[in-house]
Structure formats: C-alpha cells, structure tokens
C-alpha cells in the first residue's frame, strides 16, 4: 500500500480535497469473477466483523461513511467497505481518490470492480520493472522462504552482494542501507556533519550549514524536511533543523557565493527534480557546484531517490552530465516496491564514520536486498537503458505533437522516462478525467504540472495510448477553469 498512498498524497488535487468531476468514462469493465475473485472469497478475506480491543477511554464517534457514489463512479460493496473502514481507523494524512487497487501486471493495475488502469504513476517512480515481474517475484519468494531478517548485527549474503554491486557500478567506495529515501537523506546529513567535524580538528569550528534549492524535495523526516523547500510541508512542524539556505535552482553565482563562505557542510541537489516540477540541471550548474565545493571543502550530495536507477536513461542521472558527487542517496525503485534506501559515498567521506555513528534495525535486510538484485539485473541488462532513452524521446515527442495546440499547455519537458506537462491552470481536472478514462498520472510543482513516471518497461503502444488519453481529456481543463 505504501507506494499507492504516497502517490495519492503527492497529488495536489487529493491534498486539497477538491470536488471531483463526475464521469463514468472507464474504457473497460471486467467482473471480479473474471479475475478469479468470487464474492465468497472476498467475504473470507475481508470479514465484516471488526475485532474489539481493550481501551481505557471510550472511542470517539467514527466519522460518517463516504457516499456510495464517489467521484462519479459507482462502487461495489467491497470498495465502499474498504473506503469506509479507512475513514474510521486511519490517521487522516491521505485525502485518497476513491479507487481500491487490487492487482497489477506489467504496466496495468486493476481495482476491485475489475476496472483496468494504465499506470503512468509507477507508485511515484517506484515500480520501474512494472507490477508482478516474474523474476522479481521468484527472487522475493525464494528469499522469503530462506531468510527474511536477522538485523545488522550479522552478515547476510544478499546485503553484501547488493552493496558490492552498487559500489561496482557507481562512483562510490562505500554503501549504507536505509529503509527509505528520507532516511537516506537523514544519513547523508549526519555523514556530512561528521565528515566536517573529523576534518576540522582542535578548536577550529567545523562547517554545519547546508544549501538546498528552490522546488526541491528531500523527504518528510525532520532533517530531510529542513532541506525541503515547500512551505506547506515545513511550516506545521517548525522549528526545523537550523542552518539551511535555499537558493534558486540553477543559479551559479548565488551558489558560488554561498558555498565559499566556508560555513557549508554540504550542498544537496537533485539532478532532475521530480516533486518540484520535472526540472533538470545543466552541466554548467553541476560543474560550478563541484568546483565551489572542492575549493571550500564542502561536500556535494546528489539526491537521486526519484531520478536514479535508470529513470533518466542512464543508470545514475548525474552520469548524463559527467559530474560526480561525494555522496548520493537512492531509494524508490531499488527493490521494486519493497522499502529500501541507500547512501553511496566516497572513501574520504566514509572514513569519518565509525561504529555506532548510525544504524538501522531493518535496513538492508536479506529479503529487500535479494529483490533489489533482481531489479538491478533487469536495469543493467543489455539494451535496457538505451530503450528507456528512446521511449523517453518518443513520449515527449508525442506529448508535444498531441498537446502542443492546447492553450493551457505551456511546456513539455523531461529526461528519459520522467516527463512533465506544465499547464497554466491547476492540473486537477485533467488528472481526474484521466483517472476516469483508465489512466493514472501524478501532479508536481504547484499542482499545475502533470508528472509521468511510468514503469521503465512500458511499451511503445502503451505510451501512445497514454498520450491519446491525455489528449482526449484536455477539455476537462476548460471545464475546471470555468467552474
């Protein structure tokens, strides 16, 4: 569920809780029985009774159940039951769209009504090898039947093998595993501070400050949140970690001036911004950051949580620019949907980290690491990344051709299979109309950008179908802007 929850949370429409346009334009409807799901099986899997637990105080009254017809789509009793139960028991952090996803295969997802969706959201760039990949499933099942968890007190074969694979195919000398992207960035913050302290002996004051950039997103834990520029994420939880300066993404002179102050421990930058709006750096900007950091003794950290591991058409997005970091953070696609993150670092940085400086009970367990090895095998197979580059070009060319005549489309941009459609109006009506037409897409930026991050295995035909649906749904923007 976590990738789907995150997808919904990142949609500006869902977050705002806006009313949705009524539509019943789903292209296909398949009965549950066609997917091997009988009514009795659903009843057994989801009994109507809810077990009670002891409590010292009486429970508050549950919120009223949602209406039976949500977003203009008729729901079966199972969907309504799931939606109603969620409303009663979950902390209200996700204003979800009323779709209950049940299964997936390749680039397709299916809800409990049997409706089919073409997945251009990819669990927010997580499901890079699609849903239910046979080799990935085989790896997970085999490892689950062998060894799932022993903690980091002991060595395990999958963890060591994955660590070596990541080091061998990157700039890095050392790796540290986490459970998520935000945890990877938390570790990078700590490693940067510890490196600077180790590098400044005696009474010399070590740099402790950080630089991040406009439209950036580095996570929701307190340290990573301090490095995230969006005010709506930050303000409710202030005061955050002090000492972070936000500069304009791509501003070379401002970055040089800030770094040369000598107070900066590290500079965090996404080579391609996802949540921020699908903006890409230039080679000149990264070279300037690299040079300024080297001169001032600051570390350069690349956040490739969303754009890394093949999404750009390169194994690592920074390889397209020929500029290399001191630290890189990874997560989303690494284990094909299982929770994992990683920090890759040079020996110079890693040498400052000692026993007990950081750790995690669950991170890098044998199950997720074995799954990650299966993902790496796919992404590193001959011709795979070349295919991502070609499909990315095809996607952007089609988007420009099909959408270029719309008065609401300002720009189509992207890199590999991460693409953005910038609009002059909120994207919510278009996102909803696409959903009703069997296509899952995301928003980004300030809610005016449609973000496309499909599985990297997507076919040319599926790309063409996705663009055709978006094109057909464009009139929803006129209805949305006039309401």
pLDDT in tens, 192-204: 999 999 999 876 8
Q: 264 pLDDT exceeds 90?
A: yes
pLDDT tens digits along 384-416: 999 999 999 999 999 999 999 999 999 999 999
Residues 6+ apart with CB under 8 A from 366: 143, 146, 147, 148, 149, 150, 156, 157, 158, 159
Residue 203: the pLDDT is: 67
- The dihedral sign for the CA sequence 37, 138, 160, 377: negative
Secondary structure of residue 70 in the 3-state scheme: strand
365 in Cβ contact with 431 (< 8 Å):
no
Mean pLDDT calculated for residue range 203-216: 93
pLDDT tens digits along 221-256: 999 999 999 999 999 999 999 999 999 999 999 999
305 in Cβ contact with 271 (< 8 Å):
no
Mean pLDDT calculated for residue range 33-62: 35
Give the other-Cβ count within 10 Å of 203's Cβ.
5
Distance CA 418, CA 271 (A): 12
Distance CA 310, CA 385 (A): 6
Q: 64 pLDDT exceeds 70?
A: no
Show the tokens assigned to 278.
């699908």
Mean pLDDT calculated for residue range 182-209: 93
Q: 459 pLDDT exceeds 80?
A: yes
Q: 464 pLDDT exceeds 60?
A: yes
Closest by CA to 428, choosing from 10, 12, 2, is: 12
Q: 298 pLDDT exceeds 60?
A: yes
pLDDT tens digits along 68-98: 344 445 578 889 999 999 999 999 998 788 8
Higher pLDDT pick, 33 / 325:
325
Cα 104 to the center of its chain, rounded Å:
18
Composition of the chain by helix, strand, coil, percent to 5 = 40, 15, 45
Strand partners of residue 267: 211, 300
- Of 123-137, 141-155, 201-215, 282-296, the poorest mean pLDDT is in 201-215
Residue 225: the pLDDT is: 97
Residue 73: the pLDDT is: 58
Give the other-Cβ count within 10 Å of 405's Cβ.
9
Mean pLDDT calculated for residue range 171-179: 98
Residues 6+ apart with CB under 8 A from 439: 117, 118, 120, 466, 469, 470, 473
Where do the domains of the chain lie, and which CATH numbers do they carry? 2-12+25-128+384-482 (3.90.1150.10), 135-379 (3.40.640.10)
Secondary structure of residue 302 in the 3-state scheme: strand
Q: Does an H or E element contain 422, and which?
A: strand 418-423
Residues 6+ apart with CB under 8 A from 418: 125, 272, 274, 278, 306, 307, 311, 312, 392, 451, 452, 453
- The pLDDT-based confidence of 481 (bands split at 50, 70, 90) is low
pTM of the model: 0.84
Residue 44: the pLDDT is: 34
Distance CA 170, CA 309 (A): 11
Residue 76: the pLDDT is: 86
- The pLDDT-based confidence of 319 (bands split at 50, 70, 90) is very high
Rg (CA), the chain: 23
Task: Say what percent of the chain tops pLDDT 90.
Answer: 80
323 in Cβ contact with 163 (< 8 Å):
no
Distance CA 306, CA 129 (A): 14
Mean pLDDT calculated for residue range 289-293: 98
Q: What is the mean pLDDT of the chain?
A: 87
Distance CA 225, CA 213 (A): 13
Distance CA 451, CA 478 (A): 20
What does DSSP assign to residue 237? G
């Amino acid at each position: 569920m976590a990738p789907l929850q995150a997808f919904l949370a990142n949609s500006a429409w869902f977050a705002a809780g806006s009313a949705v346009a009524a539509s019943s334009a789903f292209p296909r409807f398949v009965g549950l029985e066609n997917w091997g799901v009988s009514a009795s099986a659903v009843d057994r899997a989801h009994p109507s009774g809810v077990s009670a637990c002891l409590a010292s105080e009486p429970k508050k009254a549950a919120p009223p159940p949602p209406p039976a017809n949500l977003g203009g789509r008729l729901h079966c009793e199972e969907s309504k039951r799931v939606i109603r139960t969620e409303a009663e028991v979950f902390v209200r952090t996700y204003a979800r769209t009323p779709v209950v996803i049940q299964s997936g295969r390749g680039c397709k997802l299916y809800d409990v009504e049997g409706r089919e969706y073409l997945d251009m959201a990819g669990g927010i760039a997580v499901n890079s090898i699609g849903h239910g990949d046979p080799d990935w499933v085989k790896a997970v099942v085999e490892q689950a039947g062998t060894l799932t968890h022993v903690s980091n007190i002991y060595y395990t074969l999958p963890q060591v093998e994955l660590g070596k694979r990541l080091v061998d195919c990157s700039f890095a000398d050392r790796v540290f595993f986490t459970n998520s992207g935000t945890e990877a960035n938390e570790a990078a913050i700590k490693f940067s501070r510890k490196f600077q302290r180790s590098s400044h002996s005696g009474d010399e004051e070590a740099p402790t400050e950080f630089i991040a950039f406009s439209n950036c997103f580095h996570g929701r834990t307190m340290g990573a949140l301090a490095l995230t520029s969006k005010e709506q994420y930050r303000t409710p939880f202030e005061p955050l970690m002090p000492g972070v300066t936000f500069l304009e993404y791509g501003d070379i002179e401002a970055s040089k001036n800030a770094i040369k102050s000598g107070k900066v421990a590290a500079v965090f930058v996404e080579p391609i911004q996802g949540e921020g709006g699908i903006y890409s750096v230039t080679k000149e900007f990264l070279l300037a950051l690299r040079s300024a950091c080297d001169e001032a003794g600051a570390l350069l950290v690349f956040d490739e949580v969303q754009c890394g591991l093949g999404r750009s058409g390169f194994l690592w997005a920074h390889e397209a620019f020929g500029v290399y970091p001191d630290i890189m953070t990874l997560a989303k696609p690494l284990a094909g949907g299982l929770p994992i993150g990683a920090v890759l670092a040079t020996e110079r940085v890693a040498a400052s980290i000692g026993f007990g400086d950081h750790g995690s009970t669950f991170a890098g367990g044998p199950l997720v690491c074995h799954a990650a090895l299966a993902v790496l095998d796919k992404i590193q197979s001959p011709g795979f990344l070349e295919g991502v580059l070609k499909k990315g070009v095809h996607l952007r060319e089609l988007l420009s051709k099909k959408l270029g005549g719309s008065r609401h489309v300002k720009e189509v941009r992207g890199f590999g299979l991460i693409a953005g459609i910038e609009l002059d109006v909120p994207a919510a009506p278009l996102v909803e109309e696409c959903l009703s037409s069997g296509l899952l897409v995301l928003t980004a930026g300030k809610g005016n950008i449609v973000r496309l991050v499909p599985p990297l295995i997507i076919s040319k035909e599926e790309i063409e179908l996705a663009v055709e649906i978006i094109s057909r749904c464009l009139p929803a923007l006129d209805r949305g802007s006039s309401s």
